[in-house]
Amino acid sequence: MDMDIGSYLRSERISTAPYTTLTKLLEKWGTIQPDREAIVTIKVQGPLDCNLDRHLEIHVHEQMDMDIGSYLRSERISAAPYTTLTKLLEKWGTIQPDREAIVCYSHDGTRTSITYGKFYNDAVKLAKGLICIGVKGGDYVGIGGNNTPEWMVGTYGVLFAKACPVYFPFHDKSGDGIKRTLTKVGGCKAILFDPGLGDSHWEVMQRIAQVDQNTGGVLQSDIPALKWLIALSPIGSHEGFPTIASIFCDDNTELPEIDPEDKAAVLQTSGSTGFPKVVEKTHYEFVKYGEDYAFLLDVDIKKDSGTIYYNDRPFFWQGGYPGFVMVVGGTRVTQKTTLALSSYSEIVQFTKTIIHKEKPDCGFFVVPFYLEMTGSEDFLWKFQSVIVSGQPIPPICFEGKGKVYDAFSALYGSTEAGMIAGKIYRSSEPRGDEIIGMLPLAGMELKVVGKDGFVVPRGSKGELYIRSSPQFKGYLNDPEKTAIVLDSSGWYKADDFCKINSAGHLEVLGRVSDVMQISGNKITPSFIEAYVKRHPDVMEVVVFAIKDQSHADDVPCAAVVRVDGSTLTEESLREFIKRELNITEDAKFTENVYVPRHIVFLNDLPRTSTGKSDQKAVKNMCLPKT
């Protein structure tokens, strides 16, 4: 990157200090060199002997040979420029205004795009318009909707105004989740929203606030501070409703200065317990994540490569946030809404169509979609590089070597800690192992801890803790949940079961808790159980997961005890759960996450000695005997 990043420096040296204690060091030297003097005290009387140093010997140990256990620190220094997302857009909008920044495909095959020049100009005009209606630095602005050019303009308009976007999905028709999130964050001055398929999102917004449909001014809402609702694109049923384009302002309104440490987004966690927590991210954090992607995709950020990058994950997910293309000035190709399709096969078929048309250099995929796509005989494209992420990555992914990709990268990350670990596996390099291991990415420290709270030996399994730079500071306005996962030294408890192998690579083995991982989503059995229990014919239920070997994905299953005399069937129970979930048309695929694929009816549930249902025994009862 040739940007002038000002008076900022980062160290180009990585510390080689062992992750140990002072007492362990004394134990080591006291054992292996017990006769060496540790401290020499000299009492000086009279003039100081200038040749005193000839009596002292300095011993330099080039490398500590201590066994430091299951601890890793990154050996790579980030090349991310210390700048803001807005400065990057200004750069690309100025020097390559005609290059496409974002390309979006709707499921009817419609292709829409926006160039860097239009993107930059529209974002600046929107920022001035937002300032004119009272949005100021430090305010929050909710943004919800599908992957569209308008979503990008909305996001960067908010950023140029020095406000902070709060992202939310439209999965729930009631809007309760949106209200909960925006109320939790507080200070939300406006909401920018995509009207959705058939204006479905607009219907949700009307449940959130009463609004003047001529001005977008909020008349009444349960969300404190909310003053404006503005559509990202025209509402089909209300053409006169204000859109972001209608508030564009091209006057001399001065835009505020933005610092790399200013807030750039509030992201939701996966909501594995049913109610997502929220995490703030800065401009620099997103720039660093973009550079992490560039590293794993083998893209040199100092060259104008014109990279075309495919990633269909939602923009509001950390794994789908468009930071990489903003760092390299490339083109992001995506789907407007992957989740509107109802099955893996539908999604993958459409994905293949887009990839064959756009011919991207590199791509990002979660495990199940990658395996489904590359297992198709009619997939005919070869990437220069791909990132595969989302859950423990099976070695079968290597079967695409030289055919689907030249370079394959495994990536492990989280909303809280960012891009944590990864490794590039190039087709030109021989592989001798059968596991996919990873190394900490720039600025990361990792340790695997046992039940006693201490670092376990290499090769032993335990729970992963992460310390990052920039550091995860906790969940916004939620000190209690923060205290559960973040200690006073900055170590974040990841809830993942891992080990560091003899080669010094991190292996992610699964979740410590009973969280299921389905298509990149994390969900607890108890959340699904709560919906099943709403049916009046259900007496008891235990939800558990089985592994889909073809996709390396968890499949939700349920063991149900019906009330006496009930004739409840699998299909009728599934339909009941779908109605209770109240999922929008834009999110039909999430039924695969929340609705049990297999339901087994039992007369009774096995119990533990304390009278609780024995989940392991229930699962064993339900699985077919081999």
Cα gap 534→531, rounded to integer Å: 5
Cα–Cα nearest to 254, from 87, 89, 84, 128? 128
For 508-558, what is each residue's pLDDT tens digit? 887 777 778 777 777 878 788 888 988 999 988 899 988 887 777 788 999
613, pLDDT greater than 90? no
Residue 536, in any domain of the structure: yes
For 393-404, what is each residue's pLDDT tens digit? 888 888 888 899
Highest mean pLDDT among 359-368, 370-379, 580-589: 359-368
- The mean per-residue pLDDT over the stretch 190-217 comes to 95
CA angle 163, 165, 171 (to 5 degrees): 160
Q: For position 171, what pLDDT does the model report?
A: 82
1, pLDDT greater than 80? no
Residue 584, in any domain of the structure: yes
Given the structure tokens 């109320």, which residue do they identify?
183
Q: For residues 510 and 359, is the Cβ–Cβ distance under 8 A?
A: no
Provide the CATH number for the domain around residue 533. Answer: 3.30.300.30
Cα gap 322→317, rounded to integer Å: 10
- 221 pLDDT tier (thresholds 50, 70, 90): very high
Secondary structure letter of residue 502 according to DSSP: T
Q: For position 57, what pLDDT does the model report?
A: 39
Residue 361's Cβ-side half-sphere holds a number of Cα atoms within 13 Å equal to 13
For 447-496, what is each residue's pLDDT tens digit? 999 989 999 999 998 999 999 989 999 999 999 999 999 999 999 999 88
Within 10 angstroms of residue 103's Cβ, the number of other Cβ atoms is: 20
Residue 144, in any domain of the structure: no
Residue 598, in any domain of the structure: yes
Q: For residues 498 and 461, is the Cβ–Cβ distance under 8 A?
A: yes
Cα gap 305→291, rounded to integer Å: 14
Inter-CA distances, 18 with 27, 73, 136, Å: 14, 10, 46
Residue 208, in any domain of the structure: no
Residue 309's Cβ-side half-sphere holds a number of Cα atoms within 13 Å equal to 31
Range of the structural domain that residue 524 is part of: 516-622
Within 10 angstroms of residue 78's Cβ, the number of other Cβ atoms is: 18
DSSP per-residue letters across 479-498: HHHHHHHB-TTS-EEEEEEE
Q: For position 554, what pLDDT does the model report?
A: 86
Secondary structure letter of residue 607 according to DSSP: B
**How far is the first Cα of the chain from the last one, in angstroms, to the nearest whole number?**
58
Residues 6+ apart with CB under 8 A from 17: none
Is 374 in a helix, a strand, or coil?
helix
DSSP per-residue letters across 412-463: EEETTTEEEEEEEEETTS----SS--BEEPTTEEEEEE-TTSSBPPTT-EEE
Cα gap 141→193, rounded to integer Å: 10
Q: For position 53, what pLDDT does the model report?
A: 46
Backbone CA torsion sign across 528, 517, 381, 421: positive
Given the structure tokens 């920022």, which residue do they identify?
127
Residue 470, in any domain of the structure: no
Pair type for strands 140-144 and 164-168: parallel
Average pLDDT, rounded, for the chain: 89
Q: The tokens of 311 are what?
A: 């990633």
- Phi first, then psi: what are they for 9, rounded to 5°? -135, 145
Cα–Cα nearest to 600, from 553, 565, 552, 568? 568
Overall pTM surpassing 0.75 (yes/no): yes
Q: For position 300, what pLDDT does the model report?
A: 92
Q: For position 52, what pLDDT does the model report?
A: 44
Q: The tokens of 206 are what?
A: 């009307």
Cα–Cα nearest to 313, from 383, 363, 378? 363
For residue 229, list its beta bridge partners: 191
Pair type for strands 516-518 and 521-523: antiparallel
- 392 pLDDT tier (thresholds 50, 70, 90): confident
Q: For residues 141 and 191, is the Cβ–Cβ distance under 8 A?
A: yes
Q: For position 593, what pLDDT does the model report?
A: 84
Q: For position 209, what pLDDT does the model report?
A: 96
For 460-474, what is each residue's pLDDT tens digit? 989 999 999 899 999
For 84-136, what is each residue's pLDDT tens digit? 999 999 999 999 999 999 999 998 899 999 999 999 999 999 999 999 999 99
608, pLDDT greater than 90? no
Cα–Cα nearest to 590, from 337, 311, 392? 337
Cα gap 209→232, rounded to integer Å: 17
Q: At what angle do helices 85-95 and 149-160 cross, to 10 degrees?
A: 120
- The mean per-residue pLDDT over the stretch 176-183 comes to 94
Residue type, 476: L
| Percent of all residues in the chain with a pLDDT value above 70, rounded to a whole number | 92
Residue type, 455: V
For 40-74, what is each residue's pLDDT tens digit? 887 766 665 545 443 433 333 333 445 668 999 99
Secondary structure letter of residue 217 according to DSSP: B
Q: For position 60, what pLDDT does the model report?
A: 35
For 271-290, what is each residue's pLDDT tens digit? 655 578 999 999 999 999 99
Helical residues (DSSP H) of 486-561, grouped into ranges: 525-532
Given the structure tokens 């709707």, which residue do they identify?
106
Cα gap 321→324, rounded to integer Å: 8
Q: For position 294, what pLDDT does the model report?
A: 97
Cα–Cα nearest to 99, from 91, 107, 109? 91
Measure the CA dihedral 458/464/467/473, to 10°.
-170
Lowest mean pLDDT among 152-156, 161-165, 559-563: 559-563
Residue 552, in any domain of the structure: yes
Cα–Cα nearest to 90, from 334, 331, 329? 329
Q: The tokens of 82 are what?
A: 């210390």
Per the structure, how many domains does the chain have?
Answer: 1
- The mean per-residue pLDDT over the stretch 25-41 comes to 90
Residue 63, in any domain of the structure: no
158, pLDDT greater than 70? yes
- The mean per-residue pLDDT over the stretch 600-606 comes to 88
Cα–Cα nearest to 413, from 320, 487, 477? 320
Lowest mean pLDDT among 328-337, 355-364, 483-492, 560-569: 560-569
